[in-house]
Chains A and B, each alone.
Chain A
């Protein structure tokens, strides 16, 4: 079974902190994604990566950056956390035209 593991289920951070969300997949997938999910807005793509050290902006990249130094790991960085970044963050991976597999999600609260 494909496994996508996010480093934390719940996080509470203070405004202005630098926040790292880590995601690891174990199926050698080329594509990895970071989404945030908010009530009524669905899943919105923040960044995705189709190869090591490659990244593409999604629909809402402002305030975020990403890092992919190894194929299995994709990190989302909040440079200076703000309260409007309180959300559920979901990592996913995929290969080619096949389905994406998701992690269990990280619920981030910024206070």
Chain B
């Protein structure tokens, strides 16, 4: 059964305190792994796509990496505006996206 597990469920950081969010997955025929940001009451906003192990993508203070079993979203020197829920999703052979339950990040000034 295809599964996506994110950890931790919640994370509180001081402004400037770097950390990482984890997304582990079991899926047959991985077509891609996706990271999204979701603000309260809004739809998820796309951040990154990773297609193969060893791939990395960066955007401002965020960096996503991928291995054969998991992905990390590294947040460097976060700011309060980075506070949001971060969602991980995988796409399997049938074009469906399977989502984890997310990590709720709070960055304290």
Q: Which residues of A contact B (CB under 8 A)?
A: 4, 31, 33, 35, 40-43, 45, 48, 50, 56, 58, 90, 92, 94, 96-105, 107
Tell whether, in the assembled complex, residue A103 and residue B49 are in contact, meaning their CB atoms are under 8 Å apart: no
Residue of B34, B42, B46, B99 near A105 (CB, 8 A) is: B42
Residue B109, interface by CB 8 Å? no
Tell whether, in the assembled complex, residue A107 and residue B41 are in contact, meaning their CB atoms are under 8 Å apart: yes
Tell whether, in the assembled complex, residue A97 and residue B87 are in contact, meaning their CB atoms are under 8 Å apart: no
Report the bound CA distance from A90 to B44 in whole Å. Answer: 9
Report the bound CA distance from A37 to B61 in whole Å. Answer: 27
Residue of B31, B96, B98, B99 near A97 (CB, 8 A) is: B31
Q: Using Cβ atoms and an 8 Å threshold, which residues of chain B touch A56?
A: 94
- Listed by A's residue number, 9 A-B pairs whose Cβ atoms lie within 8 Å are A4-B43, A42-B100, A42-B101, A43-B87, A45-B98, A99-B49, A102-B43, A105-B41, A107-B41
Residue of A31, A41, A42, A107 near B95 (CB, 8 A) is: A31
Contact status of A100 and B97, CB under 8 A, knowing A90-B43, A90-B44, A105-B41: yes
